[in-house]
Amino acid sequence: MRAKLKEIIERAVGSEAGFDIMVSDHVEQGHYSTNLAMRHAKLIHQNPLDIANDFAERIKSSAPADFFEKVEVAPPGFINFWLTPSAWHGSLDDILGQGNKYGVWNIGQNKTVIVEHSSLNIAKPIHVGHLRNAFTGDSLANIYQATGYKVVRWNYLGDWGTQFGKLIVAYRKWGDEAAVEKDPIPTLTALYIRFHDEAKNNESLEDEARAEFRKLEQGDKENRKLWGWFKKESMREFNRVYKTLGIDFDIDIGENFFEKELERVISELTEKGLTKESEGGLIIPLDKFNLPVALVRKSDGGSLYLTRDLANLEYRLKEYKPAKILYVVGNEQSLHLSQVFAVFDLLGLGQGVELLHVKYGMVLGESGKKLSTREGNVVSGEEVLQKALGLARGIVQDKNPGLSRQEKEDVAQAVAIGALKYTNLKENRNSDIIFDWQKMLDFSGDSGPYLQYTYARLQSIKRKARRVDYYWPRRQLHLLKDEKELALIRAIAEYPYALLAALENTAPNLLCSYLYGLANTTNSFYEACPVMKEEDSNLRVARLKLIDATAQTLKSGLRILGIKAPERI
C-alpha cells in the first residue's frame, strides 16, 4: 500500500526533494503521513504549510476516486492520509493473490552477501554467547535471502593456533580415545583445562605445547592426524546441536585453510609499501584511520589472526564476488575488525564491497549478571537448550494433553527453540539480554510462544471451516468494515516494510517488533469479530480470507527469524 501511495504522490507533485512515508501511531492522525512539503520547503525557502496545502489538493485530485477517505495538513507541514475501506480491501486482495511470495523483495537480485557467524572453536563447547551469535547471523541471512540476495552462510572455525599444541600434549599424557569418541567436546575441554591446571606447577608444559604446535604447522603426520581427529569429533557434535536448532551453513572453512596463503599476503602488503619492521615483527601503520598499528607477522615469524583474516577476505572476493560481507562477531573484536577493514581499504581490494561488523551484547541471567556455572565457566548452549525444552514440555502438556507423545515432543521442541531465538532477537542486538525464563515462555507476552500460539489459533479456525466456505471467491472482501478488521489489514500491509527496515538497519529486532504488533492486532480481531459463529456466510468467508493472509504473514515472519510455526499447540 505504501508503494501505491508513493506512486500517487510522485505522479501528482514529483519527488525532487525526496520524502518519507510514515505509518501513524494513532489512526485519528491518519493511516500514513509524509514530510514531502517540509523537504520541498527547504529547497525553495517557502512556508511548508502553504506548500503542504497545495500538495494535498494536487495529490487528492490525482488519486482514484475511491482511494482517499480524507487528506489533511498538520503543522509544521505534514500531510496526513486516511485511505478508504475499499482501498484496504484491494490491498488484501493483492496480498492473498501473492500467497507465500508476499513480502518478498528483489533488492539484492544478482548480488551475493556472505554472512559469517558462529565461528566456533574446535574442542570447545557451544555456549550461550554462541547461541546469540548464531541466532543473529541466521536471521540476518534469512532476511537477506528474503530480499533477493544470494546468501553464503559461513561458519569461520577457530581450528588453528597454539591451543592445539596444548591439546595434543594433554591428550598424549591423559587422554582416552573411547572417551573422546563418546563425548567429544566435554572430554576435549576437560583435557584443555587440565593442561592449564598442570602448567601452573610445571612451566615446561608450555614449552612442550609450543613445540608440538610448531610440528603441527610444519606438517608432522602424527600431529596432523590428531588435529584432524579433534576437528572431526568436534564438528560431529556441533552439527548435532545446530541441526536441533535448525541452523545450516554453506561453508565450514576455518583459519587453517588459509595458512598456505599467509606468506603471499605478507609479500603483497610489503610490495605495496604498507609494512614496516618493528622490533623484529612486521607492522602496518594505521594513523590515517586513527587506529593503532596492525601486527601482521610476529618477531618469531609466527602468523596472526589478522593475517589469516586478510587471506580469507581475498579468498572470499575471488571465489564469491560478494556485494557485502557481514561479520557477526562480539563487541570485543571491534578493534581487530576495524584494523582488518582499514588494511583492506589500503590494499584497494574489492571496490564497491561493503564490510560490516555486526555487533551484539552479552547474555545475562535473571539477576542481571553474566550467565555462568558455579565454577565460573560460561553456561553451555546445550544446558540452556535442555532447560528450555524441559519447561516447554510441561507447558505443552498443560495446554494440550490430547496430543500424541510424539506431537507433544515436536511442539515442545518448536516452542523451546522459538522462545530461545525470539528472546535473543527481540532486543536491539547491541543491548545485553536477560534470560527471564518465565517471560521467555509466556504465551501471552512479547515472546516466541505468543506468536506461535497466535498462529496456531488461526490454523484451528481454518480447520473448523467448511470446505465450501473456505474456497468461496475473494469478492466478499468488501464486507470487512469493522475497525478491527481494517486494522488487521493495515497491519498485514506493513509486513514488507518491516522486513525492509530489518534489512536496512541490520536489525532482526525490528521484524520481531512488527510480528508482536501483528499478533496483538490479530488477537484483538479474534476477540471482537467471530468467524465460525458468524451467521452471514459471505462475511464468514471474508473473515476466513483475512485469517488466511494473517496466518501466512505470521508464518513467513517467524520463518525468517528461524522459528517454526506449529499447527497445534
Domain match, 530 and 440 both: yes
Q: Are 17 and 39 in contact (CB under 8 A)?
A: yes
Residue 529 included in any domain: yes
Identify the pLDDT of residue 467.
Answer: 64
Query: What 3-state class would DSSP assign to 102?
Result: coil
DSSP strand E in 390-477: where?
Answer: 433-434
The residue-averaged pLDDT of 384-402 equals 91
Identify the pLDDT of residue 127.
Answer: 86
Instruction: Inform me whether the pLDDT recorded for 377 exceeds 60.
Output: no
Among the listed residues 567, 548, 552, the one whose alpha carbon sits nearest the alpha carbon of residue 471: 548
The residue-averaged pLDDT of 98-120 equals 95
> What residues are paired with 372 via a beta bridge?
378
In this structure, what C-alpha cell is assigned to residue 461?
479456525
Instruction: Inform me whether the pLDDT recorded for 5 exceeds 90.
Output: yes
Q: Which domain holds residue 209?
A: 163-245
Residues ≥6 apart with Cβ < 8 Å to 228:
none
Give the pLDDT band (50/70/90) at residue 369. confident
**Mean of pLDDT over the chain:** 92
Would you report the helix, strand and coil content of the chain in percent, each value rounded to 5? 60, 10, 30
Q: Could you give the C-alpha distances from 51 to 44, 59, 217, 425, in angstroms and in order?
A: 10, 12, 71, 42
Contacts by 549-553, CB closer than 8 A, 24 or more apart: 549/92, 549/95, 549/96, 549/102, 549/489, 549/492, 550/458, 550/488, 550/492, 550/518, 550/522, 551/455, 551/458, 551/459, 551/462, 552/99, 552/100, 552/102, 553/95, 553/102, 553/103, 553/492, 553/495, 553/518
Domain match, 73 and 185 both: no
Instruction: Inform me whether the pLDDT recorded for 102 exceeds 70.
Output: yes
Q: Could you give the C-alpha distances from 328 to 49, 239, 283, 308, in angstroms and in order?
A: 45, 19, 26, 17
Domain match, 435 and 536 both: yes
In this structure, what C-alpha cell is assigned to residue 283?
607492522
Residue 151 included in any domain: no
Q: What's the burial of 243, exposed, middle or buried (CB within 10 Å: 0-12/13-18/19+)?
A: exposed
The H-or-E segment that residue 297 falls in is strand 294-297
- The Cβ of residue 411 has, within 10 Å, a number of other Cβ atoms equal to 25
Query: What 3-state class would DSSP assign to 150?
Result: strand
Q: How far apart are CA 397 and CA 409, in angstroms?
A: 10
Specify whether 336 is catalytic: no
Residue 122 included in any domain: no
Instruction: Inform me whether the pLDDT recorded for 373 exceeds 60.
Output: no
Instruction: Inform me whether the pLDDT recorded for 475 exceeds 90.
Output: no
* CATH at residue 471: 1.10.730.10
Residues ≥6 apart with Cβ < 8 Å to 342:
286, 288, 289, 291, 294
Identify the pLDDT of residue 376.
Answer: 45
Q: Are 298 and 266 in contact (CB under 8 A)?
A: no
Reading across the β-sheet that carries 281-284, which strands appear in turn? 276-278, 281-284, 294-297
Least confident residue range of 162-171, 182-191, 458-467, 546-555? 458-467
In this structure, what C-alpha cell is assigned to residue 553?
504473514
The residue-averaged pLDDT of 45-67 equals 94
Identify the pLDDT of residue 413.
Answer: 96
- The Cβ of residue 549 has, within 10 Å, a number of other Cβ atoms equal to 24
Residue 77 included in any domain: yes
Residue 222 included in any domain: yes
Domain match, 200 and 73 both: no
Residue 395 included in any domain: no
Choosing from 216, 245, 274, the residue where a domain stops is 245
Decide which of 466 and 532 is more confident: 532
Instruction: Inform me whether the pLDDT recorded for 11 exceeds 90.
Output: yes
In this structure, what C-alpha cell is assigned to residue 60?
487528492
127, 166, 545, 555: the catalytic one is 127
The H-or-E segment that residue 283 falls in is strand 281-284
Identify the pLDDT of residue 349.
Answer: 80
Choosing from 58, 83, 108, the residue where a domain stops is 83
Instruction: Inform me whether the pLDDT recorded for 245 exceeds 80.
Output: yes
Instruction: Inform me whether the pLDDT recorded for 569 exceeds 70.
Output: yes
Identify the pLDDT of residue 474.
Answer: 55
Q: Are 410 and 393 in contact (CB under 8 A)?
A: no
Give the pLDDT band (50/70/90) at residue 378. low
Identify the pLDDT of residue 372.
Answer: 54
Give the pLDDT band (50/70/90) at residue 7. very high
CA 262 to chain centre: 32
* CATH at residue 57: 3.30.1360.70
Q: Are 425 and 516 in contact (CB under 8 A)?
A: no
The total number of structural domains in the chain stands at 3
Residue 500 included in any domain: yes
Among the listed residues 102, 79, 87, 85, the one whose alpha carbon sits nearest the alpha carbon of residue 21: 79
Domain match, 426 and 554 both: yes
The residue-averaged pLDDT of 177-198 equals 93
The residue-averaged pLDDT of 182-192 equals 93
Specify whether 127 is catalytic: yes
Percent of the chain having pLDDT more than 90?
Answer: 79
Specify whether 130 is catalytic: yes
Choosing from 179, 213, 245, the residue where a domain stops is 245
Instruction: Inform me whether the pLDDT recorded for 277 exceeds 50.
Output: yes
124, 387, 439, 484: the catalytic one is 124
Residues ≥6 apart with Cβ < 8 Å to 108:
144, 147, 148, 149, 150, 323
Identify the pLDDT of residue 468.
Answer: 54
Instruction: Write the pLDDT tens digit of every residue in 395-442.
Output: 999 988 999 999 999 999 999 999 999 999 999 999 988 878 888 888
User: Which of left, alpha, beta for 361 (phi over 0: left; psi -120 to 50: alpha)?
Assistant: beta
Among the listed residues 474, 462, 480, 490, the one whose alpha carbon sits nearest the alpha carbon of residue 539: 480
In this structure, what C-alpha cell is assigned to residue 49?
504549510
31, 40, 117, 130: the catalytic one is 130
Decide which of 102 and 161 is more confident: 102
Give the pLDDT band (50/70/90) at residue 356. very high
3-state per-residue secondary structure call for 299-332 = CCCCCCHHHHHHHHHHHHHHHHCCCEEEEECCHH
Q: What angle do CA 197, 203, 204 make, to 5 degrees?
A: 115
Residue 510 included in any domain: yes
The residue-averaged pLDDT of 183-195 equals 93
